[in-house]
C-alpha cells in the first residue's frame, strides 16, 4: 500500500480517518489527548501541501444513536488548539450540509465530521454510507491504527469507492515497528505477555513462541499455566478449558528451546479490593480460598534478571490488577525494568500503555502502540482488515 508522503495531495481534498476515541472526564473534558497528538504529523503534512483536510473519527459506542455526551466537540476544540487554527465541526458526518461545507473549504482548512458511530451504518460496514464518505475527497487517508482491526465503513468499505487510498504517517510507524521487530529482531528477543485471560492472548502466544528466545507470562493468565503444571491456585482466575492448551504451550517452548518463565510467588487476597488483607506466598502455597492478584517480589527479581541481556522486548498485558495500589507493584516494577533496559522496547497499547504512563516512564520506551486490539492482532501474525483493504485498493488503482 501507499503512504500519504508517496501520493500527490498538493491542493487536493483529503479525507483522513483517525482514532480519536479519547477518554473524557465527568465534565466531558479530555482526560488524555495522546491519540489526538499522534495525528498531528499526518495533518500537518497535508496542510503543508495546501490540502483541504477533512477529519473523521468516532467516540465511544453510541450504537447508531445521537448521544450529545459523545459528540466530537471536545476533540475538535483540542485539535484546534494543537494546530493553532480553527477546526470546524459539522453537525453530522453525512448529508447536504456537510457537502456544502466541504465545497466551501479553502486550501489549508480543517473540517471535522461529527461522530461516525452516530450512524449504525458505520459499524455495519454499509456500502452506501461508505460511498457517501468516499465522495467527499480526492484522496482517502487511513491513519486510525487503533481501529485497524475493525471492519467498518470508514476504514474498509470506503476503500472500494475512494478515488485514491493511502495510509497516514502513524499507521506507517506502527506497522514498521511491529513488522521489523517480528521479522528480524535483535536477539535475545523477549516477549512479556500478561493480562487476565489466556483466551485473549492465545494466538499471540502461539505466534510469538515460534519467534522469541524467552517468554515471560504474568497477570491472571499465568494461573492457567500454573494449574497446568499441577499447582493449587485457589480462586485465582483460570480457564479450565485451556489447561491442556497451556500444557501444550509449555511443551512446545521446551521443544523449540524457548525459555518460558512464570511467576514463582504472588500477592494473594480473598478478593480484588483495596481494603483486602494481602499476603505474599510462593505459587506452591496459594490458599484454597484466596486468589493471586499480582506477581510477588521474587518474581519481580526473576523477571528483571531474565530481561538483563535482552536486545528486543515486546510487552502486552499487565502483571496484576494494577489499578488497585495493593496489586500494582509487579506491573510498575516491570515498567521500570523495561524502561531501564538497553533493548529496543515496544509496548502494545491498552492497559500496558496506561501503566507505562502512570509510572512516568513513557519517554524511556522505544515505542508505545496506540492500538491495543490492533497491536495484539499483529502479534498474532494476522493482517489487519484496514491494511488489507488499503492493499487491495492499491492493486485496483495500479
Residue 395 has pLDDT above 90, yes or no: no
pLDDT > 90: percent of the chain = 94
Residue 372: what pLDDT?
Answer: 86
Joined together, the cell numbers standing for residue 380 give 498474532
Predicted structure pTM score: 0.92
Spell out the domain ranges in the chain.
4-170+384-397, 187-342
Task: Please say if the pLDDT value at position 375 is more than 90.
Answer: yes
Judge whether 314 and 179 are in contact, CB under 8 Å.
no
Q: 96 burial class (0-12, 13-18, 19+ CB within 10 angstroms)?
A: exposed
* Catalytic annotation, residues: 35, 197, 350, 373
DSSP annotation string for 12-64: -EEEEE------B-TTS-BS--HHHHTTHHHHHHHHHTT-EEEEE---S--TT
**pLDDT tens-digit profile of 300-350?**
999 999 999 999 999 999 999 999 999 999 999 999 999 999 999 999 878
Which pLDDT belongs to residue 10? 98
**Residue 236 near residue 222, CB atoms below 8 Å:** no
pLDDT at 148: 97
4-170+384-397 CATH fold: Rossmann fold (3.40.50)
Q: Which three cell numbers stand for residue 188?
A: 535475545
The predicted pLDDT at position 26 comes to: 87
- What is the chain's mean pLDDT, rounded? 96
CA pair distance 64, 247, nearest whole angstrom: 44
Residue 254 pLDDT > 80, yes or no? yes
Q: At what angle do helices 243-256 and 198-208 cross, to 10 degrees?
A: 20
What is the full DSSP assignment across 152-186?
Answer: -TTTTGGGGT-SSEEE-HHHHHHHHHHHHHHHS--
Q: Which residues pair with 140 in a beta bridge?
A: 15, 165
Residue 9: its pLDDT value, please?
Answer: 98
**pLDDT one-digit tens code per residue, 103-133:** 999 999 999 999 999 999 999 999 999 999 9
Burial of 186 (0-12, 13-18, 19+ CB in 10 A): exposed
Enumerate residues 6+ apart whose C-beta is below 8 A from 176.
none
pLDDT tens digits for 59-82? 999 999 999 999 999 999 999 999
- Tell me: pLDDT of 396 over 80: yes
Over residues 169-217, the pLDDT tens digits come to: 999 999 999 998 999 999 999 999 999 989 989 999 999 999 999 999 9
Q: What is the pLDDT of residue 394?
A: 87
Topology of domain 187-342 in CATH is: Rossmann fold (3.40.50)
4-170+384-397 with 187-342: one CATH topology?
yes
Rounded distance, CA 266 to CA 300, Å? 10
Mean predicted confidence (pLDDT) in 228-234: 95
Mean pLDDT, residues 148-158 taken together: 98
Amino acid at each position: 500500500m501507499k503512504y500519504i508522503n508517496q501520493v500527490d495531495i498538493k491542493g487536493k481534498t483529503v479525507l483522513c480517518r483517525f482514532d480519536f476515541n479519547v477518554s473524557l472526564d465527568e465534565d466531558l473534558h479530555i482526560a488524555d489527548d495522546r491519540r489526538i497528538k499522534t495525528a498531528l504529523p499526518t495533518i500537518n503534512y497535508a496542510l503543508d501541501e495546501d490540502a483541504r483536510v477533512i477529519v473523521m473519527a468516532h467516540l465511544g459506542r453510541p450504537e447508531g444513536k445521537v448521544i450529545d455526551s459523545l459528540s466530537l466537540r471536545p476533540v475538535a476544540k483540542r485539535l484546534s488548539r494543537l494546530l493553532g487554527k480553527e477546526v470546524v465541526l459539522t453537525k453530522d458526518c453525512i448529508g447536504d450540509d456537510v457537502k456544502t461545507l466541504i465545497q466551501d473549504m479553502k486550501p489549508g482548512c480543517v473540517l471535522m465530521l461529527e461522530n461516525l458511530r452516530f450512524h449504525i451504518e458505520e459499524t455495519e460496514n454499509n456500502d452506501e454510507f461508505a460511498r457517501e464518505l468516499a465522495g467527499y475527497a480526492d484522496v482517502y487517508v487511513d491513519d486510525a491504527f487503533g481501529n485497524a482491526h475493525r471492519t467498518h465503513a470508514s476504514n474498509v468499505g470506503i476503500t472500494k469507492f475512494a478515488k485514491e487510498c493511502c495510509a497516514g504517517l502513524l499507521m506507517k510507524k506502527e506497522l514498521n515497528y511491529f513488522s521489523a521487530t517480528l521479522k528480524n529482531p535483535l536477539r535475545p528477543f523477549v516477549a512479556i505477555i500478561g493480562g487476565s485471560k489466556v483466551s485473549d492472548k492465545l494466538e499471540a502466544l502461539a505466534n510469538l513462541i515460534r519467534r522469541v528466545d524467552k517468554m515471560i507470562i504474568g497477570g491472571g493468565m499465568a494461573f492457567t499455566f500454573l494449574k497446568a503444571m499441577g499447582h493449587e491456585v485457589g480462586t485465582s482466575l483460570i480457564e479450565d478449558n485451556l489447561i491442556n492448551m497451556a500444557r501444550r504451550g509449555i511443551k512446545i517452548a521446551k521443544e523449540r528451546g524457548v525459555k518460558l518463565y512464570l511467576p514463582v510467588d504472588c500477592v494473594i487476597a480473598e478478593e480484588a479490593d483495596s481494603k483486602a488483607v494481602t499476603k505474599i506466598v510462593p505459587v506452591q502455597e496459594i490458599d484454597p480460598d484466596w486468589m493471586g492478584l499480582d506477581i510477588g517480589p521474587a518474581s519481580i527479581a526473576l523477571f528483571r534478571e531474565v530481561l538483563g541481556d535482552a536486545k528486543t522486548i515486546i510487552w502486552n498485558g499487565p502483571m496484576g490488577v494494577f489499578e488497585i495500589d495493593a496489586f500494582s507493584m509487579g506491573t510498575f516494577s516491570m515498567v521500570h525494568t523495561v524502561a531501564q533496559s538497553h533493548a529496543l522496547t515496544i509496548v502494545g497499547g491498552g492497559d500496558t500503555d496506561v501503566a507505562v504512563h502512570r509510572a512516568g516512564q513513557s519517554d524511556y520506551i522505544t515505542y508505545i502502540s496506540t492500538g491495543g486490539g490492533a497491536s495484539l492482532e499483529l502479534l498474532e501474525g494476522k493482517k489487519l482488515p484496514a491494511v488489507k483493504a488499503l492493499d487491495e485498493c492499491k492493486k485496483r488503482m495500479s
